[in-house]
Structure 1
Amino acid sequence: MVKAPKGYRHRTRKLLTKGVRERGAVPKASVLFYPYKVGDKVTVRIDPSFHKGMPHRRYHGLTGTIVGVRGRAYVVSVPIGKSTVKTIITYAAHLRPLKA
């Protein structure tokens, strides 16, 4: 019996895959250079082709608030559950502005 893998991207076969026509595509410049400001609401949407600054899969699809900037990365505060708030540091390739 083989043990299940415990890597950073385990159990992400469907979650971290692109569509057939999107494979190998680098994120658009409009996504990479979007001018996020402190206080903006964002959605964490992991881009599997961009490995640097990739947040953990548990944050994929969650909505957070930009708290700060660290070089090219953004500090995002993500509420999980009713009272827990996590802080993640990720690149702009894995963020999308909230459409609300």
Structure 2
Amino acid sequence: MRHSHGYRSRGRKIFRITPRLRGYRGLSRLMQEYNIGDTVVIDVNPTFIETAPHRRYQGKVGKIIERRGRAYVIEIRVGNKIKKIITTSEHIIPFKQAGS
């Protein structure tokens, strides 16, 4: 039988939630406000799969360029291309640079 190449294929390890971290993530993360120009990290939360970006963007750092309703448009550089990812705040966390 052929292997399925669906949108979530080969994502079992990436989208797994350890038992200790199950349930909603903290309130501070849900109430976090982001502004245009903020640098964020894509951290896919498998609880909200409808608004989750593709697994290839897990852990990538990008910049918020636009707000669309509840969602944010994030610009990410992949190789020589610039990709625009549309996702909600459940899947992004603020980027903390080393030393700050």
**TM-score scaled by structure 2?**
0.91
Q: Structure 2: any 5+ residue segments left out of the alignment?
A: none
Partner of 2:43: 45
Cα distance in 2 between the residues matched to 1:50 and 1:29: 16
SS in 2 for 1:58: helix
Shift >2 Å, 4+ stretches:
none
Partner of 1:56: 54
Q: CA RMSD in A?
A: 1.0
Q: Structure 1: any 5+ residue segments left out of the alignment?
A: none
1:60-79 Cα deviation digits (max 9, x unpaired): 01000000000000000010
- 1:20 shift after superposition: 1.9
Q: Is the 8 A contact 1:52 1:91 kept in 2?
A: no
Q: How many residues align?
A: 97
1:65 aligns with 2:75: no
**2:94 equivalent among 78, 94, 97:** 97
1:8-61 Cα deviation digits (max 9, x unpaired): 1100110110112123x1232221221100000000000011223110011001
Cα distance in 2 between the residues matched to 1:61 and 1:12: 14
SS in 2 for 1:93: helix
